[in-house]
Amino acid sequence: MSLSFDRIKEKLNILADAAKYDVSCSSSGSVRKNNTNGLGDSSGMGICHSYTEDGRCVSLLKILLTNHCIFDCAYCVTRKSNDVQRAAFKIQEVVDLTINFYRRNYIEGLFLSSGIFKSPDYTMERLVAVAKKLRLEENFNGYIHLKSIPGASDELMREAGLYADRLSVNIEVPTISELKLLAPDKKHEDFTKPMLKVKNEIIQYKSEKKIIKSTPKYAPAGQSTQMIVGATGESDKDIMYSATYYYKTYHMKRVYYSGYVPVADDSRLPAIGTQVPMLRENRLYQTDWLLRFYGFGVQELLNNDHPNLDMDVDPKLGWALRNMQYFPIDINKADKSVLARIPGLGMKSVHKIISARRFRKLNWEHLKKIGVALNRAKYFIVCDSSKWEHRDMEGAKIKGLILQNSTGKFRKEYSNQLQLF
């Protein structure tokens, strides 16, 4: 008993370590209810059960089935030519770990990926087998995220979606030319083929569901992908235009951005020890949010004149400073979509303002109580007060004032970066 636990522990260490560069931890958006008095329910919002010391959410048991791989992608820690310890779980071992972690309220479910052994289909078949076993034998209604193995057949992708809540295939390298350079064994179509299949299956499921209520669920939490940031010479514009393409073409629920952590000495890539571009990653996520929830178009934020995001201010503030002709905005009159464009206002504040202003005209005091970040917002709004002296200020001056009077969490980083120039 304890001997086999020691072996499992060893495998878990290797295969969790190898899986951690996949940043997705989402466990929300599914509709899987526990109607059968079985184990688990994924109908609510996802829960982060813990956070690692690097501050990332731990919501799923995120492991590889194996880190044996026949491919040699330069950016990947599991690539064939890398000298690392290899291990492989048996299907039942993954099932047991998932169930026992879930029963103790450690996790929301399983995120299973794998190195590619023998062939894409052979690998995908085993991932599907784990999910199938959890659903059919263990009556498990927790969350399952399966990786789509690039090059896997349509038949397997169809089956995968019957058991998984989410499917994802990581594009990793945002441009096709760089992909050829860094992942010579993989073709761009290998990535997009499973994406297309999943998209079409979801569309079909949704239309059939309207007619036949009992149509089996297909990947109810949709699909996602991930791009590495800072491994090649790509611009923020390259990344976000590419992301926009995947959101649109394949109906992605999410695109994740993963600051490249150097894992090998390779002349094509940043050297080991190079700092992880965490600030840049953060700015990309902020941009992603502005596109999905704040009504911005990607070309407003990134274009040939501005191919890269500002590092010292957030992308909304950056946009506002370049477009002072739209401001100031009257907090007591403006539409929701206009309020959403004011720096320092999140969507929660926007909703609160719209609710609260039905009762009385809002002044600075009200806005402060509601939780608006006035240190940024005050330069862009008027409210029920005569005190707003910022009418004629230039963007550059406002930026200076904001930076002077605030402390950002990355301030240290970009003051260093600024000194370089």
Q: Which residues bind other proteins (CB under 8 A)?
A: 1-2, 5, 8-9, 12-13, 16-17, 19-21, 33-34, 37-41, 44, 47-58, 61-62, 97, 100-101, 103-106, 139, 259, 261, 275-276, 278, 352, 355-356, 358-360, 362, 366, 369-370
Provide, rounded to whole angstroms, the least separation between the CB of residue 284 and other proteins. 15
- Which amino acid, one-letter code, is at 418? L
**50 or 249: whose CB is closer to other proteins?**
50
DSSP output for 362-376:
--HHHHHHHT--HHH
**61 or 146: whose CB is closer to other proteins?**
61
Provide, rounded to whole angstroms, the least separation between the CB of residue 316 and other proteins. 22
Provide, rounded to whole angstroms, the least separation between the CB of residue 19 and other proteins. 8
- DSSP lists the bridge partners of residue 223 as 167
**337 or 355: whose CB is closer to other proteins?**
355
Provide, rounded to whole angstroms, the least separation between the CB of residue 141 and other proteins. 9
Burial class (CB in 10 A: 0-12, 13-18, 19+), 162: middle
Q: Does the bond joining 270 to the residue before it have cis omega, within 30 degrees of 0? A: no
The beta-strand segments (E) located in 197-316 are 223-229, 254-259
- Please tell me the distance from the alpha carbon of residue 152 to that of residue 10, in angstroms, as a whole number: 29
**51 or 293: whose CB is closer to other proteins?**
51
**168 or 242: whose CB is closer to other proteins?**
168
- Please tell me the distance from the alpha carbon of residue 105 to that of residue 99, in angstroms, as a whole number: 10
Stretch (H or E) spanning 207 = helix 188-211
Provide, rounded to whole angstroms, the least separation between the CB of residue 104 and other proteins. 5
Q: Give the N- to C-terminal CA distance of the chain in Å, as an integer.
A: 61
DSSP output for 23-88:
------S--B--TTS-B--BSS-----EE-TTS-EE-EEEEESB---S---TT-TT-TTS-----B
Closest to 78 measured CA to CA, from 89, 87, 67: 67
**192 or 258: whose CB is closer to other proteins?**
258
Report helix angle 236-250 to 278-293, nearest 10: 40
**12 or 70: whose CB is closer to other proteins?**
12
Provide, rounded to whole angstroms, the least separation between the CB of residue 85 and other proteins. 12
Provide, rounded to whole angstroms, the least separation between the CB of residue 6 and other proteins. 9
**8 or 311: whose CB is closer to other proteins?**
8
Provide, rounded to whole angstroms, the least separation between the CB of residue 65 and other proteins. 15
